[in-house]
Chain A
Amino acid sequence: MATIEGLLRQLDTLLLVVCAFGALAAAVTMLFLREPMRVALALVTSMILLGGIYGLLGVHFVAAFQVLIYVGAVMVFIVYAIMLLERREVEVRRYSRLVVPGIAGLVVLPGAIVASVWKPLPSPVHELGDVSFGIGAFSVAFLTEYWLLFELTSVLLVAAVVAAVAVLGVGRKDARRG
């Protein structure tokens, strides 16, 4: 029995490593692909693998949100915009003049963050992935302890709807003038 549990644990870790490096590889690919649609597909791959990581860590509802909201809503919206705009596009240079500072930043930023965060990392209360809490515990915490954030979220959504309508209004005015 203990052997089976050990094997399952190892399989779990293996899947976690595969998902983590897969997500990283897809993210790196985004820097090199020219076509926005391919970049979007690489980002979708990265997001789905991150969803897999959340599932393996035991936060299944965040994994579901990741797939439903990020992949299902945000990325579909972006793909829709790419399909709308791609035909008009002439040729965009792939990289800006800031390639060298950008690459330098890629080296310096993770180095600085890791150097500042790595050593003081507190020892875990539980082994990562051992604690899983469902949508019930999350909902109770959200609506009791963090109710103000919940309300602020709804205010933010209303503000976003008003802003989107205002942006569309500006677009219509410009179209009439043009």
Chain B
Amino acid sequence: MDRTQLLIGVAVALFSIGLVGVVVRRNVLVMLMCMELMLNGVNLSLITFAQQTATTVGAVVVFLVFVVATVEIALAIPIVLLLVRDKHTLDIGAYSELRG
């Protein structure tokens, strides 16, 4: 196993663990953190492939992912605060009426 395979394996594992965390955990904040973990897995794979092909495009996309992650959190946290103010719980089951 060379370095590329190791890092791609870690990236896939981080993404999968994050996805499982989003599916199985019930705390909204923990789910948000698991989403961040998924983005970290994506970033690692982008950087690994960019290094493998010796291009800057991976770093550019990683920078965009940083911006998207920051925006996501900046919007998600106030929404969670409003939901908790309304329902007095962080349990995702209490927000089932948001299904639409």
Residues of A within 8 A of B (CB): 13, 16-17, 20, 23-24, 27-28, 30-31, 36, 39-40, 43, 46-47, 50, 53-54, 57-59, 61-62, 65-66, 69-70, 73-74, 77-78, 81-82, 84-85, 88-90, 92-96, 98-99, 101-103, 105-106, 109-110, 113-114, 117-118, 121-122, 124-129, 131, 133, 137-138, 141-142, 146, 149, 153, 156-157, 160, 163-164, 167-168, 170-171, 174-175
Q: Which residues of B contact A137 (CB under 8 A)?
A: 56
Nearest CB in chain B to that of A43: its residue: B33
* B68-100 Cβ-contact flags toward A at 8 Å (1 or 0): 111101110111111011101111110000000
B70 and A167 contacting across the interface, CB-CB below 8 Å? no
Q: Which residues of A contact B63 (CB under 8 A)?
A: 62, 65, 138, 142, 153
Residues of B within 8 A of A (CB): 2-10, 12-21, 23-27, 29-30, 32-34, 36-37, 40, 43-44, 47-48, 50-54, 56-57, 59-60, 62-64, 66-71, 73-75, 77-82, 84-86, 88-93
Main secondary structure of the interface of A (DSSP, over half): helix
B81 and A84 contacting across the interface, CB-CB below 8 Å? yes
Which of B3, B25, B29, B66 contacts A81 (CB under 8 A)? B29
B71 and A138 contacting across the interface, CB-CB below 8 Å? no
Nearest CB in chain B to that of A140: its residue: B56
